[in-house]
Structure 1
Amino acid sequence: MSITPQDLGSGTLDQSIQRLRARKDTCQKSIQNIARGNGRALESDQRKLKAELRQNALAEVEVDESERFLMLTPRLGQEAKIDERDNILSGEFLEIGILTARAVCHISRGLETGTGFLVGNGIVVTNYHVIKDKAEAKTAMFEFLFDDNRIGTPRSTEVYVADTDHFFWADEALDICFLGLQVVTDINIFGWIPLLREEGKALIGDATNIIQHPDGEKKRIVVHESVFTLVDNGTDADAFCWYSGDTNPGSSGSPVLNNRWEVLAVHHKAVPDTDVNGHVLDVNGKKISKERFAENNAQVHWLANEGIRVSRIVGALEAKVFDNPQYSTVRDDLLALWADPMCTQRARRASYDGMGKQL
């Protein structure tokens, strides 16, 4: 008997498969263009303009050294680019990545695992299919610093539980869940990763980085062979985007970031290739039996990863009408925090200072 998407252990995939199946030819064309160094040929003029305007604005901010705490050096290596993606990065790329990763946590509910990350003010975001309601939130543990730390002084993980009285918002259509944590210590020592509403943070072919806890393991980071593949504005899939990079069950809720370590999307599904009858296909386009899948599940042909776009998440959160005044206050504080031009620098400074306190 052939396997179906439900056998892959990723929950319901029907809508994700339908979205990507309708764009399969475009996605494959995008991958081919990216391989030739010409991914942006599929981008709209409007999105390219937004990216250019955003880059120019960031470059102006970075000219002022007093405002440049842990900001990446702009336009490094432009004269030596081989294709449209600049692979020469500042050494700060590694430093900022370390600070950013501190805000990412491992989520567990019994045998179920996922990933989440702080977005400010003791608020974690993950997927709806990881935590869908307050009852599930109250049975979850949020573990920070769940890392390999074999260098230097061994470091203990720090575990928090949910505080749904402080804040809780779940949206099934977006597959998003925001919730507060019981702040028994200064949780800002981990920094946070702001959700920046403006578009233009990545174009087709740009590198993506995914910080995750796949299969419930210690923190893992994808920075190789991972690129922004497809986006489809103004359609039924407007809230989503697609990218490559390795993920596994447990990666749900991971931040998908650009090379400036800004969040592009919240990862929620790896989408397999299927035939018209819903059978999962292998890399050769053949159906996979349950026996063969049990022997080697790497044979599945994964079309792409799908994430929820940050710009759409922020828009939905802003539009949400809360009956609870406390929730409205927390939401408004979050939106104000993310709108602050210095929010990213403040987040990195908090993580940097927190790291010093924990050494």
Structure 2
Amino acid sequence: MSPLIEPVLSRTAMEDAALRWRERSAQREARLRLVRQGRYIEAEGIERLLARMAYQGFDSASLSELTDEGFISLQRETLAADFLERAQRSSKAVGRVVVSSRHGVTKVGTGFMISPKLMLTTSDVLPSAEAAEGAMFELGLPHALQPERYFYANHELGFTAVAIEGASSHWCKLAEQEIATAIGHPVNLVHYPLGKEKEVIVRNTEVVDLLSEAVQYRGVTAPGSSGAPVFNDEWKVIAIQRTGIPRTDLRGNYMRRSSGIWEPGDDPADLDWIANEGIAAWTILSRLRGAENHDLFAEMFEPIVVTEEVEEEPPIVETPAPAPPPPAPANTGTTIRLNIPLKITVEIDGTIGSL
């Protein structure tokens, strides 16, 4: 990658997430241990567990006397038949955010559509309307941003919503409730690690902690993933990736992947990343609803209509013998063909493979 291209990495967000990770270590590991042992009621609490099962569509009769064994029997052991179709549709709503500065340094992050005209990313990627004015959102083809039409940055949580030029036929639904996920649940991620090609991580990581405004999950990402959507198995967004969490020693020093202490100014790729933290989707949705009302918000809650392209056979038409072809027209432009690579990592029964 060119040295003039800099994947977004917020040192402040990383430090805050690492501190929360250390402070909640005992509580997190105790709850994960209960989940591993199948003691779900202790791990989650009966009220939340019942609410989550109702959210998944189970009737109250099947939940009246729920036990750990009964909970296990109700869980689906296989994925829905349209799981990969949903993955493909969701990935089409995710693009690369390219921010150019007057100093010639280009920052890259990830963003995704939350309605046909609204894109969501982190405030580390787009901190201001001025930054958005010179930015592009690469969603197949590049889209200019329109902060003059709509722009909202919440620096407290760390997210930014902005209007794009034109519209997208693909967008992602934000989960409205925390019960859309749970500790131990697998998650899926679509991102641009190091600002390079789009990659999809499928069920290769899991939720390990739920905080009031954040979700922490295992797995390794990289700078450039900031702003990526984190999905549950229904492909609803449960969080927006903000930062990785690096391994630390007992003194709180960040550790390198090889050995030794990572120092400020070192390459972030050398950090020993052990987990990630994202901004909770339901918190983002709550803040957006509390912000200035806008006509673009209504589209966020409209159902996503999936249409299938049907190929029709053309009618048979009798035509006379063709005339000699006319001279080829002069070349008046340039044809550009874009090939967007997509890497999918899948974990099934502990076996990891790539598609």
Give 2:320's aligned residue: none
Could you say which structure has the higher helix fraction?
Answer: 1
Give 1:245's aligned residue: 219
Give 2:330's aligned residue: none
Secondary structure of the residue that 1:314 maps to in structure 2? helix
- Worse-superposed segment, 250-259 or 48-57: 48-57
**Cα RMSD (Å):** 3.3
1:333 to 288, 298, 304: 298
Could you say which structure has the higher strand fraction?
Answer: 2
Q: Does the 8 Å CA contact 1:127/1:252 hold for their aligned counterparts?
A: yes
Give 1:134's aligned residue: 129
Cα deviation 1:276-307 (Å, max 9, x = unaligned) = 644113689x752569x769826x152x2111
Q: 1:249 to 1:83 in 2, by over 3 A?
A: farther
Deviation at 1:88, TM superposition (A): 1.5
Secondary structure of the residue that 2:176 maps to in structure 1? coil
Secondary structure of the residue that 2:208 maps to in structure 1? strand
Deviation at 1:28, TM superposition (A): 2.9
Q: Return the alpha-carbon distance in structure 1 between the equivalents of residues 113 and 163 of structure 2.
A: 10
Secondary structure of the residue that 1:115 maps to in structure 2? strand
Cα deviation 1:210-263 (Å, max 9, x = unaligned) = 01111111110111431111113xxxxx11111112211010111100111011
Which structure: larger Rg? 2
1:174 aligns with 2:157: yes
Cα deviation 1:142-193 (Å, max 9, x = unaligned) = 001xxxxxxxxxxxx310011012110000111000000111xxx233x110
Give 1:103's aligned residue: 93
1:54 counterpart letter in structure 2: Y
Give 2:21's aligned residue: 20
Q: 1:333 to 1:295 in 2, by over 3 A?
A: closer
Cα deviation 1:12-45 (Å, max 9, x = unaligned) = 2232222222212222334444555556742233
Q: Return the alpha-carbon distance in structure 2 between the equivalents of residues 261 and 83 of structure 1.
A: 23
Deviation at 1:353, TM superposition (A): 5.9
Q: 1:246 to 1:36 in 2, by over 3 A?
A: farther
**TM-score normalised by length of structure 2:** 0.71
**TM-score normalised by length of structure 1:** 0.71
| Higher RCO (C-alpha 8 Å, min separation 6) | 1
Give 1:223's aligned residue: 202
Q: Return the alpha-carbon distance in structure 2 between the equivalents of residues 84 and 38 of structure 1.
A: 15
Q: Does the 8 Å CA contact 1:213/1:251 hold for their aligned counterparts?
A: yes
Alignment of structure 1 residues 105-254 onto 2, 5 Å = 105-110=95-100, 111-144=106-139, 157-183=140-166, 187-189=167-169, 191-232=170-211, 238-254=212-228
Secondary structure of the residue that 1:306 maps to in structure 2? strand
Q: What are structure 2's unaligned runs of at least 5 residues?
A: 1-7, 61-68, 101-105, 311-355
Alignment of structure 1 residues 11-50 onto 2, 5 Å = 11-12=11-12, 13-36=14-37, 41-50=42-51
Q: Return the alpha-carbon distance in structure 1 between the equivalents of residues 41 and 257 of structure 2.
A: 26
Q: Does the 8 Å CA contact 2:32/2:43 hold for their aligned counterparts?
A: no
- Worse-superposed segment, 217-226 or 111-120: 217-226
Alignment of structure 1 residues 44-123 onto 2, 5 Å = 44-56=45-57, 86-110=76-100, 111-123=106-118
1:288 aligns with 2:296: no
Cα deviation 1:117-143 (Å, max 9, x = unaligned) = 000031000000010001110121100
2:282 to 290, 311, 316: 311
Q: 1:82 to 1:332 in 2, by over 3 A?
A: closer
2:23 counterpart letter in structure 1: A
Deviation at 1:329, TM superposition (A): 2.1
Q: What are structure 1's unaligned runs of at least 5 residues?
A: 1-7, 61-78, 145-156, 233-237, 323-327, 355-359
2:270 counterpart letter in structure 1: N
Deviation at 1:331, TM superposition (A): 5.6
2:27 counterpart letter in structure 1: T
1:53 counterpart letter in structure 2: A
